[in-house]
Amino acid sequence: MKGGYVDLGKLGGGCHVILAILRYGNQEVRKLVCEEVLKGTVKLMNNRYGGMILDRILVDPDLKHWRLLISQHLYSKLYMQLPQFDENGTPLSLSQLIEKHPNQKNFMIENMQKILENSLSKFPSLVVVQIILYEFLLHCSPDEYQVMVTLTQPLVENLLTSKEGCLSIVRAFDYTNAKQRKKMLQQCKDKILNMATDQNEVLILIRALDVTDDTVLLKKIILNTLIENVDDVFTSVNGRLIFVHLLDPRNERYFKKKLEHLPVPIVASAGVKRFNCKKANDVRQKELLKHVLPTLVNYCERNVKSLLSQSEPLLYLVLRQCFGTLVPLKEEGEALLEKISAYTRENLDVVFNGKISSRRLRGLMEFIPQFCDVVMKNFSDEEIVKIAFTKGVLSIVRCAQSSKAHETRLQTILKKSSIIEQLRTQGGKGVDVLFEELKLGKAEN
């Protein structure tokens, strides 16, 4: 078949043979196929079956070198004769090409637009089309953006087949108008749960919540479905990100690399020509959070045990909002703290000796001072002494730091000579801190 891969790739049967070679062939054979494909990139791009071969190469992490070369060919015919590489021999990306040859940008964007106008309506599910679309939306002018978003708007369902397709929709949400956003969201209506659990598709929902002014529409299409299935949503690492984002938008601790795709929305009041939304970000957050916070409090009450035993930030975030100023739910927050206190008392030895649960409780006392009040009100002297001999000893320190009254009580409980001697015998960094904070003398013998 050598020398005929491009022609074979344009046929149904031949396409599947080449796909099998790319999937199962050794490094030498795959290189041979990629070299021939590279010479016929444009021909394959304009063919339904040929596009599937390009897709196979573009999604294979072991073929990244060829992916970049193929992309260069699609940006401009100039790079067919003169491919561009960095000092390490890696083909340049579109951003690097624009930086190196800024005078070629308009030509490359124009060429990409022609490909998209021809391919979006025919093969929107192909990864190669979605990659070009995403790069185009990142680098095009505002006028070109509007033209492409108009073409993309009815194709949301078709663009969910790759990371770049999902990011194209995220990008499209940025500067669309209210009518366009509504039509895009309506295509997601029956897929919300599946989208919420996918690492790429969830970004679409988060960005929609970020920039859509019509919060009634957001509640109807996105949030109501998630609320009704909240237990299922929280079984997914990705699904919980939607609620975490509403509780604490763009917290780097929880979103890491996703933040590059979720910049702070530009509001109309900023006075710039291109803005993402008219409604202030805190106003939108308040309206949406008011709708979901009671459900999240209820979820936390029903799942205290699991939330304390996992590296899960939900308890902190929910309680901070309950006792905050944006959407205060003080009574509900106090009820949740009582639930946590009751569970902790019933399982004192387990939770304060657990590696994760002891840290969770210490964190609650540090970030939610009201929890210290609940603990000091509900726990007996004997229970507090027990905690001092567990991994939760630093929790006592946090209680002491939260209030002079708590510090005084803890000093009274722990200053008994027999307890001090036992703590000295136990030793440890936590005990050292406890002795210093409560002025119990020196922990060392």
Q: What is the pLDDT of residues 73-108, one digit of tens each?
A: 999 988 988 999 999 999 999 999 999 999 999 999
Q: How many CB atoms lie within 10 A of CB 171?
A: 22
- 212 membership: H or E segment, kind and range: none
Report d(CA 242, CA 222) in Å as an integer.
Answer: 10
**How much is the pLDDT for 249?**
95
Report d(CA 213, CA 275) in Å as an integer.
Answer: 12
Average pLDDT on 384-408 reads: 93
Average pLDDT on 422-436 reads: 86
Do residues 398 and 362 lie in contact, with contact meaning Cβ atoms separated by under 8 Å?
Answer: yes
Do residues 262 and 207 lie in contact, with contact meaning Cβ atoms separated by under 8 Å?
Answer: yes
Average pLDDT on 17-34 reads: 93
Q: How many CB atoms lie within 10 A of CB 405?
A: 10
Taking the CA atoms of 285, 287, 288 and 292 in sequence, report the sign of the dihedral they define.
positive
Structure-block tokens of residue 210: 């970020």
* Residue 139 pLDDT level (bands cut at 50, 70, 90): very high
* Residue 429 pLDDT level (bands cut at 50, 70, 90): confident
**How much is the pLDDT for 1?**
86
What is the percentage of the chain residues whose pLDDT exceeds 90? 84
Report d(CA 399, CA 250) in Å as an integer.
Answer: 30
Report d(CA 129, CA 65) in Å as an integer.
Answer: 18
* Residue 445 pLDDT level (bands cut at 50, 70, 90): very low
* Residue 229 pLDDT level (bands cut at 50, 70, 90): very high
* Residue 53 pLDDT level (bands cut at 50, 70, 90): very high
Structure-block tokens of residue 364: 């609650």
Report d(CA 136, CA 369) in Å as an integer.
Answer: 50
Concatenated DSSP letters of 262-320: SPPPPBGGG--SS-SBSS-HHHHHHHHHHHHHHHHHHHHHHTHHHHHHSS--HHHHHHH
Do residues 333 and 319 lie in contact, with contact meaning Cβ atoms separated by under 8 Å?
Answer: yes
The gap from C-alpha 259 to its chain's centroid, in whole angstroms, comes to 8
Average pLDDT on 399-426 reads: 89
List of residues 6+ apart from 166 with CB closer than 8 A? 159, 160, 198, 200, 201, 203, 204
Report d(CA 47, CA 386) in Å as an integer.
Answer: 73
For the chain, the C-alpha Rg in angstroms (whole number) is 29
Over 90: is that where the pLDDT of 254 sits? no
Length of the chain: 445
SS3 assignment, position 432: helix
Over 90: is that where the pLDDT of 152 sits? yes
Do residues 235 and 219 lie in contact, with contact meaning Cβ atoms separated by under 8 Å?
Answer: no
Structure-block tokens of residue 303: 């799942």
**How much is the pLDDT for 442?**
61
Report d(CA 163, CA 183) in Å as an integer.
Answer: 21
Report d(CA 184, CA 180) in Å as an integer.
Answer: 6
Over 50: is that where the pLDDT of 332 sits? yes
- 214 membership: H or E segment, kind and range: none
Q: What are the tens digits of pLDDT across the range 110-126?
A: 999 999 999 998 999 99
Residue carrying the six token digits 């009671």: 294
Specify the amino acid at residue 109.
I
Over 90: is that where the pLDDT of 287 sits? yes
Over 60: is that where the pLDDT of 232 sits? yes
Do residues 51 and 122 lie in contact, with contact meaning Cβ atoms separated by under 8 Å?
Answer: no
SS3 assignment, position 120: coil
Task: Select from 331, 166, 367 the least CA-distant residue to 248.
Answer: 367
**How much is the pLDDT for 297?**
97
Summary mean pLDDT of the chain: 93
Task: Select from 365, 234, 237, 367 the least CA-distant residue to 302.
Answer: 234
Structure-block tokens of residue 71: 């992309």
List of residues 6+ apart from 317 with CB closer than 8 A? 244, 247, 248
Report d(CA 14, CA 31) in Å as an integer.
Answer: 18
Average pLDDT on 9-25 reads: 93
Residue carrying the six token digits 């944006």: 326
Q: How many CB atoms lie within 10 A of CB 329?
A: 21
